[in-house]
Structure 1
Amino acid sequence: MQMGVETSNAEGRRRVFVVDDDEITRVALQLMLHDEIETHELATPEEAFVRGVDWLKPDLVLLGASFFNQKGPALIGQLAVHFPDVRILIVCDKSDEATAAEGIKAGAHGVLIKPLTLETVRKKVDTILERGATAPIVRLRVPK
């Protein structure tokens, strides 16, 4: 067992694609997540589309803001078409918050703002994947 890995999280493994043109960011995110989550670092969205054929579909894509800037809001739709039910987080600098807001309007599920720390990345990913202590909220139906 790895140090700092929640047993409940390690049991329900999910797949994450880190798609960013910054190799340092890709490697950092992969290292932060790989103990608890199957994590693949990919240099382009096109590489993710090829890699995600059939059995290797991701549950979550961590998308670098630079790709969103280059390809626009349509990229979020392309990811959703290639990977039904995928969750998308945009990874950006604090100065790119406007870009991140556009991404959320286009259908992304949230944002990871740099500087990235182990605790904040794992917490955000666990929340978005509804893992461990961050289980989904069950809404009770009140009888009429």
Structure 2
Amino acid sequence: MQIGVETSKAVDQRRVFVIDEDEITRAALQFMLHDEIETHELASPEEAYEKGIGWLKPDVVLLGVSFLQQRGAALIGELLTRFQGVRILIVCDKSQEATAVDGLKAGAHGALVKPLTLEAVRKKVDTILGRDGAAPLVQLSLLA
């Protein structure tokens, strides 16, 4: 089932790895994104490293905050080293924002705060990829 898919996005050659311990969150994010971008659900960073060998490197990683809680913010640097040029979004609850901020300080590019909605998730991924249809990062208005 495709929900509001733009054809130009559906043929995009980039991919997303959803790395989260929570199977429901992984499945929900994969469902929200798979129509517009190649999306893979993975239960651990190690599984992602194995899958990301060679041509299957991700352009975006959606990382469950639980991995930062267990392994610390150094995990962000490890992902950035393993997947050169990857953009990282941390998936968290509002109550976990402090841990997400530590991840941002370590080099992550943003956060997706639950509750997750189709529109918000797609918009954030579009923005992080610089794809058309994303909200502009900065809007300037000049008044004469």
TM-score (ref. length: structure 1) = 0.90
Question: Quick one: distance in 2 between partners of 1:16 and 1:54?
Answer: 15
Structure 1 counterpart SS, 2:89: strand
Structure 1 counterpart SS, 2:18: strand
CA contact (8 A) 2:123 2:135 kept: no
CA contact (8 A) 1:13 1:36 kept: no
Question: Quick one: distance in 1 between partners of 2:125 and 2:3?
Answer: 18
CA contact (8 A) 1:33 1:122 kept: yes
1:11-57 Cα offsets, whole Å, 9 max, x none, are 32310000000000000000000000000000000100111001100
Give % identity. 72
CA shift at 1:7, angstroms? Answer: 1.9
Corresponding residue number in structure 1 for 2:91: 91
Write out aligned runs for 1:43-62 (5 A).
Answer: 43-62=43-62
Partner amino acid, structure 2, of 1:97: E
Corresponding residue number in structure 1 for 2:140: none
CA shift at 1:10, angstroms? Answer: 1.7
Structure 1: stretches of 5+ with no match in the other structure: 138-144
1:85-107 Cα offsets, whole Å, 9 max, x none, are 00000000010010111110000
Question: Quick one: distance in 1 between partners of 2:102 and 2:3?
Answer: 37
The aligned length equals 137
TM-score (ref. length: structure 2) = 0.90
Structure 1 counterpart SS, 2:88: strand
Question: Quick one: distance in 1 between partners of 2:6 and 2:82?
Answer: 31
Question: Quick one: distance in 1 between partners of 2:119 and 2:135?
Answer: 18
Question: Quick one: distance in 1 between partners of 2:28 and 2:10?
Answer: 19
Write out aligned runs for 1:31-110 (5 A).
Answer: 31-110=31-110
Q: Structure 1: which 4+ aligned runs deviate by more than 6 Å?
A: none
CA contact (8 A) 1:93 1:114 kept: yes
Corresponding residue number in structure 2 for 1:8: 8
Question: Quick one: distance in 1 between partners of 2:129 and 2:136?
Answer: 9
Question: Quick one: distance in 1 between partners of 2:133 and 2:15?
Answer: 19
Question: Quick one: distance in 2 between partners of 1:2 and 1:25?
Answer: 19
Corresponding residue number in structure 1 for 2:122: 122
Give the alignment's Cα RMSD to 1 decimal. 1.6
CA shift at 1:136, angstroms? Answer: 7.8
Corresponding residue number in structure 1 for 2:141: none
Partner amino acid, structure 1, of 2:37: I
Corresponding residue number in structure 2 for 1:112: 112
Structure 2: stretches of 5+ with no match in the other structure: 138-144
